[in-house]
């Protein structure tokens, strides 16, 4: 059946442990490992076929609502990468959607959040466009395609956990063998899932960051064999596996400790992973009852995630607000990509 309108929604993720080890370069000699969760903060893409009278300026119309940016092109060959909605253009070109349509995008996440927003947008775009042209894909196919577009087409550094978390949803343990991904849902007990969601606090530092900048610096240090960087990568893999085991038995005390150990190793990767503002918010959190915490994504800005001591999350949330951070409410998203 020919569809004239398709809407897609894909969640961002919180990476609890093992981030960086999903990058193929860091997972060749020994497998990478990550624990993450898709959350109810989403990227959205909608595609509507248009009539000839609607596209006097171009058959392809793109509206990026977050930036109030409108782009028109006569056909896919005229879509040039110029820093404006390049991810949207790349998805259109990759799927070879040479039709007349308007595509609209927006995201709930703040800019440079470290939550994998661009990956979620890529997943939503591919989900919407593939359904529009009658070629729906499986979740892992969408994740792989979204990753390929970012890495190969747009030359954005990074791994694959963001795309897989967004496409699949839920709380996941993922392993990475070079470019190969194995994702397994973590079947948490209802009590563990309830307590985990209750005590997690996600905040935005009000500082955006470009993960590619941090990735470039860490990759270069790893390539040169920097001992701190290579040692930290090995530790991050171990921490993710230990965290998986802790969650499966409901040991949130160990989960909190491992989050903090993960953060200590993140900071070993490169000085740019943290900054004065991040350090200030960690000090505030620790004084207000945080049992553990880390920066999301590559670090250097964006979001921080903490787990509060039992029944202290309200104190932690207020202290972070008072320090100028923005609290982002969420629950886990078990669905992943949704297309209607």
Question: Both 34 and 148 in a single domain?
Answer: yes
Kindly report the number of other CB atoms within 10 A of residue 307's CB atom: 28
Cα angle vertex 248, ends 242, 252, to 5°? 75
* Least confident piece of the model among 30-44, 124-138, 206-220, 231-245: 206-220
Structure confidence by residue, pLDDT tens digits, 62-105 = 999 999 999 999 989 899 999 999 999 999 999 999 899 999 99
Q: DSSP per residue over 241-286, as a string? A: HHHHHHHHTT-HHHHHHHHHHHHHHHHHH-GGG--HHHHHHHHHHH
CA atoms within 13 A on the CB side of 216: 6
Question: Both 181 and 201 in a single domain?
Answer: no
Average pLDDT over every residue of 245-268: 98
Question: Both 114 and 246 in a single domain?
Answer: no
Question: Both 33 and 64 in a single domain?
Answer: yes
Question: Both 180 and 223 in a single domain?
Answer: no
The total number of structural domains that make up the chain: 2
State the residue range of the domain holding 271. 190-327
pLDDT band at residue 109 under the 50/70/90 scheme? very high
Structure confidence by residue, pLDDT tens digits, 233-254 = 999 999 999 999 999 999 999 9
Query: CA 199, CA 195: separation in Å to the nearest integer?
Result: 6
Q: Which CATH number goes with the domain that contains 31?
A: 3.30.230.10
Query: CA 174, CA 163: separation in Å to the nearest integer?
Result: 12
* Least confident piece of the model among 297-301, 310-314, 319-323: 297-301
pLDDT of the residue at 98: 86
Question: Both 169 and 237 in a single domain?
Answer: no
Question: Both 171 and 93 in a single domain?
Answer: yes
Question: Both 49 and 154 in a single domain?
Answer: yes
Question: Both 159 and 200 in a single domain?
Answer: no
Question: Both 99 and 221 in a single domain?
Answer: no
Kindly report the number of other CB atoms within 10 A of residue 183's CB atom: 21
Q: Which CATH number goes with the domain that contains 230?
A: 3.30.70.890
Number of residues assigned to the chain? 340
Which residues belong to the active site? Answer: 162
Question: Both 18 and 132 in a single domain?
Answer: yes
DSSP 3-state of 92: helix
Question: Both 53 and 40 in a single domain?
Answer: yes
């Amino acid at each position: 059946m020919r569809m004239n309108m398709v809407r897609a929604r894909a969640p961002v993720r919180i990476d609890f442990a093992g981030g960086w080890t999903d990058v193929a370069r860091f997972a060749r000699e020994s497998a990478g490992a990550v624990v993450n969760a898709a959350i109810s903060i989403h990227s959205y893409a909608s595609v509507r076929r248009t009539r000839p009278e609607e596209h006097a300026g171009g058959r392809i119309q793109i509206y990026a609502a977050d930036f109030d940016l409108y782009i028109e092109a006569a056909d896919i060959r005229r879509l040039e990468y110029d820093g404006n909605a390049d991810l949207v253009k790349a998805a259109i070109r990759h799927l070879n959607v040479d039709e007349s349509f308007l595509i609209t995008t927006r995201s709930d996440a703040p800019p440079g959040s470290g939550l994998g927003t661009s990956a979620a947008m890529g997943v939503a775009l591919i989900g919407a466009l593939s359904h529009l042209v009658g070629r729906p894909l499986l979740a892992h196919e969408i994740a792989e395609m979204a990753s390929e577009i970012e890495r190969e087409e747009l030359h954005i550094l990074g791994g694959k956990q963001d795309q897989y978390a967004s496409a699949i949803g839920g709380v996941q343990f993922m392993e990475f063998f070079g470019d190969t991904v194995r994702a397994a849902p973590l079947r948490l007990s209802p009590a563990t899932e309830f307590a985990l969601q209750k005590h997690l606090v996600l905040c935005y530092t009000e500082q955006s960051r470009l993960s590619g900048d941090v990735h470039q610096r860490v990759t270069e240090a790893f390539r040169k064999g920097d001992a701190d960087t290579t040692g930290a990568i090995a530790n991050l893999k171990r921490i993710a596996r230990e965290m998986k085991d802790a969650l499966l038995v409901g040991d949130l005390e160990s989960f909190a400790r491992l989050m903090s150990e993960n953060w200590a190793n993140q900071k070993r990767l490169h000085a740019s992973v943290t900054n004065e503002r991040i350090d200030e918010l960690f000090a505030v959190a620790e004084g207000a009852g945080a049992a553990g915490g880390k920066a999301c994504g590559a670090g250097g800005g964006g979001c921080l995630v903490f787990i509060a001591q039992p029944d202290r999350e309200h104190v932690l949330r207020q202290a972070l607000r008072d320090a100028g951070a923005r609290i982002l409410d969420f629950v886990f998203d078990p669905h992943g990509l949704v297309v209607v």
